[in-house]
Amino acid sequence: MKCDFCEKKATVFLTQLVDGQMKKVCLCDNCAKERGVTDPTGFSLADLLLGGLPGGPGTVAGHPSPGVPGNGKQCATCTFTLDDLKRVRRFGCSDCYATFGDEVAQMIRGMHKGTSHVGKVPEGLMAIQFRNQRIEELRSRLDQAIASESYEEAAGIRDEIRNLDEVKH
């Protein structure tokens, strides 16, 4: 069993009912100490998964600066603060994910099967990704063409890249 937070060998295993669902977290010695998981009786797994943020409950390093909401972090789009995040354990808008990037990274470790999206992508994005991939392929073909001094072919590839770049912007 690996630690859900750092991939080391897990030695502490916590199971708790959260919202009527069984949640399990595996931690190594270091992560358990770091998150203050020494007294399971007074410890909430939800705090660890959703509230174990820097400066939040369950962290040793957490000393929020008094009077500064959420250590000064605030979403410019919706005014959501780090304190709000700790209080409601949800976000205010989609831009919060960028604002609280560090906290998000910590929250989602151990929450899901992975930390990067593999799956459906909105159609428009799909086209952009496909185009970028195509440009990359063409660039490497261009390098090969120049290296083998096939200048005519290189010119054709360059035009193709230019066309794709124009569509992109």
Partner 1 sequence: MMRFNTLIKHPADWMTGGQGEHGAVITSRIRLARNLRRHPFPGWAKRDQRAAALDLMRPAVEALPAMKGAFSHELGDLTSVQKQVLVERHLISREHAARGDGSAAVIERRQTFSLMLNEEDHLRMQAIRPGLQLTAAFSALSELDTNLEESLEFAFDPTLGYLTTCPTNLGTGLRASAMLHLPGLVLSDQIGQVLQAVNKIGLAVRGLYGEGTESLGNLYQISNQSTLGESEETIIRRLERVISQVANHEQNAREKLLEDDPEMVSDKIGRAYGVLRYAHIIDSKEALNHLSLLRLGGTLGYFPTKTVMLCDSLLMDIQPAHLQLHSGRKLSPEERDSIRAEIVRSRLQSLETPDNRMSSNDDKNFSDTPNPNPGDA
Positions touching partner 1 (CB under 8 A) are 20-22, 50, 77-78, 80, 84, 88-95, 97-98, 104, 107-108, 111-125, 129
Minimum CB distance to partner 1, residue 21 (Å)? 5
Minimum CB distance to partner 1, residue 102 (Å)? 13
| Residue with smaller CB distance to partner 1, 65 or 94 | 94
| Residue with smaller CB distance to partner 1, 40 or 101 | 101
Contacts 24+ apart (CB under 8 A), 96-100: 99/73, 99/74, 99/75, 100/73, 100/75
Minimum CB distance to partner 1, residue 15 (Å)? 10
Asked if 75 contacts 99 with a C-beta cutoff of 8 angstroms, the reply is yes
| Residue with smaller CB distance to partner 1, 93 or 155 | 93
| Residue with smaller CB distance to partner 1, 15 or 144 | 15
| Residue with smaller CB distance to partner 1, 21 or 41 | 21
Tokens describing residue 58: 């369950």
Minimum CB distance to partner 1, residue 70 (Å)? 14
Minimum CB distance to partner 1, residue 94 (Å)? 3
